[in-house]
């Protein structure tokens, strides 16, 4: 980037020096993590960030994991954050992995939620194309937009996630706050795997949902331990890919225990 740009974030302040950085997944935003952040905030500063092309952060045609991890690094420099725990879900988990690998000294621990260090087959095309097909000039209410999306996206939880990306502009017209076009253009990068072979020794917790197929044993477990030599893998029963929202108490118990371990 020719101009220094910082990610937008929400800070949940705490008087201690501890910091937790939370990075959302594809088509998510920092507000998705408000409830979790408020509970983690009882013992730590918490920073929930909007990734580039998401939420209130800047838009860019470039969206590699190197780009996105550099964004986190610049934000940490800007805020003078050192020795933090970095937590990322799905796409955010891959960003967190890159951060741990490129600057382990800054992050004392990592928490990776339901994603492995590997490439994934494309599986968001229907969602992204449905978002792009929304006509805000004719669909004038959230209910109308939801009804339109339901014809191709029957899962209510996914539609609720998508609808959080809808905002009103100065003319009171709806628009997608996330940059759907740039996300589609970079989708191959987002699904890809670009970690180097350099192993990471920082304590790292991988949390997976028992109903999710994003982290599978034994192949994915082997990949995780090759890249993260001090990794612990935990499964939360009854949770799918959105572990933190489907089983919040179990999720918080695992996260809190891991962070507070010496």
- Residue 67: asked if its preceding bond is cis (omega within 30°), the reply is no
| Set 24, 98, 241, 254: catalytic member | 241
| Set 90, 130, 202, 212: catalytic member | 90
- Could you give the CA distance from residue 218 to residue 196 in angstroms, rounded to a whole number? 21
- Could you give the CA distance from residue 28 to residue 48 in angstroms, rounded to a whole number? 11
Q: What count of other Cβ atoms lies within 10 Å of the Cβ of residue 250?
A: 17
The strand pairing partners of 49, in sequence order, are: 9, 23
Considering only CA atoms, which of 190, 174, 193, 177 is closest in space to residue 136?
174
The SS3 of residue 76 is helix
Contacts of 256 (CB under 8 A, 6+ apart): 40, 43
Does the annotation mark 90 as catalytic? yes
Positions annotated as catalytic residues are: 90, 241
């Amino acid at each position: 980037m020719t101009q220094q740009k910082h990610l937008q974030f929400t800070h949940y302040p705490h008087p201690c020096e501890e910091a937790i950085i939370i990075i959302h997944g594809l088509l998510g935003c920092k507000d998705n993590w408000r409830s979790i952040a408020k509970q983690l905030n009882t013992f730590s500063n918490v920073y929930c960030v909007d990734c580039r092309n998401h939420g209130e952060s800047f838009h860019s045609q470039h969206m590699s994991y190197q780009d996105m991890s550099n964004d986190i690094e610049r934000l940490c420099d800007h805020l003078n954050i050192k020795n933090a725990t970095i937590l990322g879900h799905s796409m955010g988990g891959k960003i967190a992995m890159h951060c741990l690998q490129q600057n382990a000294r800054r992050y004392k621990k990592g928490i990776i939620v339901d994603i492995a260090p590997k490439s994934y087959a494309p599986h968001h095309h229907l969602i992204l194309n449905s978002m792009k097909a929304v006509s805000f000039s004719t669909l004038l209410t959230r209910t109308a937009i939801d009804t339109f999306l339901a014809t191709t996206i029957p899962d209510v939880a996914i539609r609720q996630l998508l609808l959080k990306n809808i905002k009103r502009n100065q003319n009171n017209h709806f628009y997608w706050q996330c940059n759907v076009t740039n996300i589609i253009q970079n989708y191959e990068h987002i699904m890809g795997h670009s970690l180097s072979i350099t192993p990471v020794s920082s304590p790292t917790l991988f949390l997976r949902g028992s109903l999710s197929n994003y982290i599978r044993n034994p192949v994915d477990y082997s990949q995780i331990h090759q890249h993260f030599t001090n990794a612990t893998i935990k499964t939360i029963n009854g949770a799918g890919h959105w572990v933190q929202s489907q089983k919040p108490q179990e999720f918080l118990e695992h996260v809190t225990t891991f962070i507070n371990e010496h």
